[in-house]
Amino acid sequence: MLDSLRRRPRLAFALLAVLLAALPFIMGFGLGNSWVRVLDFVLLYVLLAIGLNIVVGYAGLLDLGYIAFYALGAYLYAWLASPHFGLHLPFWVVLPIGAAFAGLFGVLLGAPTLRLRGDYLAIVTLGFGEIIRIFMNNLNAPFNLTNGPQGMNLIDPVSVAGFSFGKTLHIFGLSLPPTYFYYYLFLAFTLLAIFIALRLQDSRIGRAWAAIREDEVAAAAMGINTRNLKLLAFAMGASFGGLAGGLFAAFQGFISPESFTLWESILVLCMIVLGGMGNIPGVILGAVLLTMIPEALRYIGDLQRATLGHVVVDPSDLRMLLFGVALVGMMLFRPAGLLPSRQRKREFAAEDGVAEQEQASLYDAKA
């Protein structure tokens, strides 16, 4: 069946569109409305994973503080659309500002770390992520910017043409909670992000990023402006994170530094590593799996209660255990990720052939 769909891309595309459009209703009526909320988070994480993939997957710059940009986007949204400063700008004004704001911080992080690579860069970015979180936690005095650990609440929901996403809509005998509307909003932004990421990959910029990832000195020797392109990767990745952060703030109506811990950065990185770094379908799959599976595992708690009468293994502990097992298993059996990029797939498939070729080329030189 997959084969026949592959031969008819238009039909496949139409089916996918129908599925994506119907998904919240299928999930909502099939499994309950809490699953529509899970879907919303899946989309936010897909957005984050696509953004981080630009930095890590495309340009090869290991960033362990990526969630800081998510935080910056979220706080900027809260500053410009909540009672905190009494500002209530519409979302279509705030979101681009949030993306640009995060992008600016991406450049601020990128500029001093231009000469760093690999582990060194990872440590600096990790520090950056923590610094932003600690700032958000402490900037409630002398001037109350972030409301400290209490976080900021009453953030304006998204509202389109006078219709607020914040209330449940009763229509045709159905009651649709806000999670439905946010699903379509997030879906639109996610599709836009996927489109941009795919176009970037095949562009001149994307090829330059790939060259920098492979060998920075050689990339510079090809005439690539490595400084500007690395900064651009940081800025682009960060602005995707900032956009996701703004959407998150509007969706939750409440943000606090707790949502932006190192664990979140690691989780997004795991998504792209597990799914297949550098490959957009892989990255999406990674984000979907790592968001959905922990939710599904909650049922294990219910199951224990039903069969054993009490909870023996806490599902949230089990979640971490399974994460670990899944990652180790993947490194052993699918080191390039579940859906690896074409390059990584070939790399892992072709390693055996090298010695043979060395022989062949020596023979060739004799001739």
Handedness of CA 359, 360, 365, 367 (dihedral sign): positive
> Amino acid identity of 282?
G
Residue 89 near residue 81 (C-beta atoms within 8 A): yes
Among 197, 219, 232, 243, binds other proteins (CB under 8 A): 219
Q: Per CB under 8 A, does 306 bind other proteins?
A: no
Pick from 284, 273, 275: which is nearest to 339 by CA? 275
Q: Per CB under 8 A, does 239 bind other proteins?
A: no
How distant, in Å, are the alpha carbons of 45, 64, 230, 234, 356 from that of 270? 11, 11, 22, 19, 35
Residue window 320-359: x/- pattern of binding to other proteins, with contact defined by CB under 8 A: -----------------------xx-xx--xx-xx--xx-
Q: Per CB under 8 A, does 215 bind other proteins?
A: yes
Among 6, 223, 309, 333, binds other proteins (CB under 8 A): 223
Q: Per CB under 8 A, does 227 bind other proteins?
A: yes
Among 171, 306, 308, 365, binds other proteins (CB under 8 A): 365
CA distance 90 to 242: 16
- Nearest-approach distance from CB 213 to other proteins, in angstroms: 8
Instruction: Report the residue number, 159 or 343, with the smaller CB distance to other proteins.
Output: 343
Q: Per CB under 8 A, does 362 bind other proteins?
A: yes
Q: Per CB under 8 A, does 364 bind other proteins?
A: yes
Among 125, 146, 201, 226, binds other proteins (CB under 8 A): 226
Residue 94 near residue 81 (C-beta atoms within 8 A): yes
Q: Per CB under 8 A, does 220 bind other proteins?
A: yes
Within 188-207, the residues that bind other proteins by CB under 8 A are: 204, 207
- Nearest-approach distance from CB 269 to other proteins, in angstroms: 19
Helix, strand and coil content of the chain, in percent to the nearest 5, comes to 75, 5, 20
Among 161, 202, 306, 361, binds other proteins (CB under 8 A): 361
- Nearest-approach distance from CB 215 to other proteins, in angstroms: 5
Which phi-psi region, left, alpha or beta, contains residue 60 (left: φ > 0; alpha: ψ -120 to 50)? left
Among 222, 293, 312, 328, binds other proteins (CB under 8 A): 222
N- to C-terminal Cα separation, the chain:
51
Instruction: Report the residue number, 190 or 341, with the smaller CB distance to other proteins.
Output: 341
> Amino acid identity of 113?
T
**E strands of 134-269, at which residues?**
152-153, 159-160, 163-164, 169-171, 174-176, 254-255
CA distance 277 to 58: 8
Among 99, 210, 244, 339, binds other proteins (CB under 8 A): 210
Pick from 222, 230, 209: which is nearest to 116 by CA? 230
Which phi-psi region, left, alpha or beta, contains residue 32 (left: φ > 0; alpha: ψ -120 to 50)? left
- Nearest-approach distance from CB 210 to other proteins, in angstroms: 6
Pick from 193, 171, 183: which is nearest to 284 by CA? 193
* Contacts with other proteins, residue ranges (CB under 8 A): 204, 207-208, 210-211, 213-215, 217-227, 343-344, 346-347, 350-351, 353-354, 357-358, 360-362, 364-366
